[in-house]
Amino acid sequence: MVGPSGSGKTLLVQTLAKLINVPLAISDATSLTEAGYVGEDVENVISRLLVAADGDVELAEKGIVYIDEIDKICRKGENVSITRDVSGEGVQNSLLKIIEGSKVSVPPVGTRKTPGSRKNTMIDTSNILFICGGAFESLYRANKEKSNTIGFNSISNEVKNNEPEITADNLVKAGLTPELVGRLSTRVRLNSLKNEDLVKILTDPKDSIIQEYKELLKKALTHTSYAYEHGIESNEKLEFLGDSILEFVSSIYLYNNYPNLKEGEMTKVRATVVCETSLHKIAQMHGFSDFLYLGKSERTTNKEVRPAILADSVEAVIAAIYLDGGLEEAKKFIIENLKEPIEVASKHVGQKDYKTVLQEKLQKHGEVEIKYTIINETGPDHDKTFEAQVEYNGKKLAVGEGKSKKLAEMEAARKALQNIK
C-alpha cells in the first residue's frame, strides 16, 4: 500500500483483520535489522503475531502481518550496495524468507496460555497475509517533476493530480529490491485525503465523533420540561457533575492565586461567584437562552427563561466540556468566565458593602426610609446596563450604574456616601 501519512493505511489493515476475525501484528520497518545486529530481528514480527493470537499457533498461521514505513528501509540508489546494509536492503532480504512461505523458529514469548515457555515455536508463514505500507515520498516528488514538462510529452491525470502510478518499476526505482517487489504482487495506492473527505469522516458515520459532540451538547441544554414531553434524558445529571467541577476548579484557582485569603474568606468568594446570579450572567453573555430546549409548558408560563434554568444549563455545559475535552478544557471555560468576578469578590470580602455602610450612617439619629429604584436599563439582553437611584426619606441622594441591578444599587450607595460626607 502506497499513500501519504494520514491516508488510512493502518486503519484499513486493522479493519480488514477485524472483519475476517484474524490476529494482526503491526511492526515498524525502521526498527528492524538483520539478525545479530542492534535492533529488532525480522523474525520478531512473527513473534508479535503469535502474541496477538494468544499463543494459538494454528490461529497465528492464518493471521495478518502489517509492516509499516517500508519505504524507510529502501536502498539509497538503484545500484546494489557493495557494503553491508543491515537496516535497509539487508532487512528486505530477510523479509523475503518469511514472506515467500517458510517455517520460522520463533523465540519464546510469554502469553496467557504459555507463560514463560522456554521452547522455540515453529510457525509456518505460507498462509500468513503480509501487507507492507509506506508513504514513498520519492515517487510523489518524481511525479511532481514530470508535471513541469511541456511539449508533446502528455501529462496524464495521474501526474496532474500528483498521484503516482504504483508499478513494479517505480517501486524498484524508489529503493525496494526487485525480489521483494515480486513477492508483493498486489499493489494499491491510497490517495491524499482532501478537506471534503475529512469532513465526511467526521460527519457521515452514524456514530461519528461530531454527532456524539452534538448529542452531548444537546443533552446539556435540555431542560426537564422538554425531556419529559419528548421522553428523553434531561441535563440534570450533567448539571450535578458540572456543579462539582465548578466548585473544584474555583477552589483550586482561589487557593493558588489568593494565598492571603483565609479559609472562611475563600469560601465566601467562591459562594459569590458560583451562585445563581453569577451563572445566570454567564448564560446571558453567551446567549444560552437561544439554544435551550424548553417544554411548551415552560415557554407558555414564562415569557423569559428563568434565571435558575439558565444557571443550571451553565453547570451542565461545563460537564459536557469536561466529558468531551477533559478537565483542562473545562478549567479554561470556568476561569475565562469567572476570573473577573473572583477578582472583584476577593477585594470586597470581609468588608461591609456600601448599602450597609450607608444605612448605618443614616440611621445614627433614628429610623429612616432608604429606597432603591431601578430607573433605567439599556443594552441587549445578554449585556444590559442598569441605572439605580437611592432615596432618603423621599429625597434623591445619588444615581449609579452597573451590569446588574445589585451592582447598580451598590454604585448608587457609594456615590451617596460621597455626597453626604
Give the mean pLDDT of 256-272: 91
- Which residue in the list 69, 315, 409, 411 is annotated as catalytic? 315
Task: Calculate ∠ Cα 346-347-352, nearest 5°.
Answer: 105
| Helices and strands of the chain, counted as H and E runs | 19, 10
C-alpha cell at 62: 492464518
Separation between Cα atoms, residue 377 and residue 334, nearest integer Å: 28
* pLDDT at residue 59, as a whole number: 93
Contact 96, 74 (CB under 8 A): no
* pLDDT at residue 87, as a whole number: 47
- Which residue in the list 40, 71, 243, 298 is annotated as catalytic? 243
Separation between Cα atoms, residue 188 and residue 174, nearest integer Å: 16
Q: Which of 113-117, 210-214, 239-243, 335-339 has the lowest mean pLDDT?
A: 113-117
Q: Provide DSSP, 336-372.
A: HHHHHHHHHHHHHTTSPPHHHHHHHHHGGGS---EEE
Separation between Cα atoms, residue 12 and residue 145, nearest integer Å: 30
* pTM of the predicted model as reported, rounded to 2 decimal places: 0.49
What percent of the chain has pLDDT above 90?
A: 37
Query: Does the pLDDT at position 273 exceed 60?
Result: yes
* pLDDT at residue 363, as a whole number: 84
* pLDDT at residue 299, as a whole number: 86
Domains for the chain: give ranges and CATH numbers.
9-183 (3.40.50.300), 209-348 (1.10.1520.10), 354-419 (3.30.160.20)
Confidence class for position 38, pLDDT limits 50, 70, 90:
very low
* pLDDT at residue 118, as a whole number: 61
Confidence class for position 95, pLDDT limits 50, 70, 90:
confident
Q: Is 243 among the residues known to form the active site?
A: yes
Query: Does the pLDDT at position 78 exceed 90?
Result: no
- Higher confidence at residue 118 or residue 367? 367
Contact 393, 418 (CB under 8 A): no
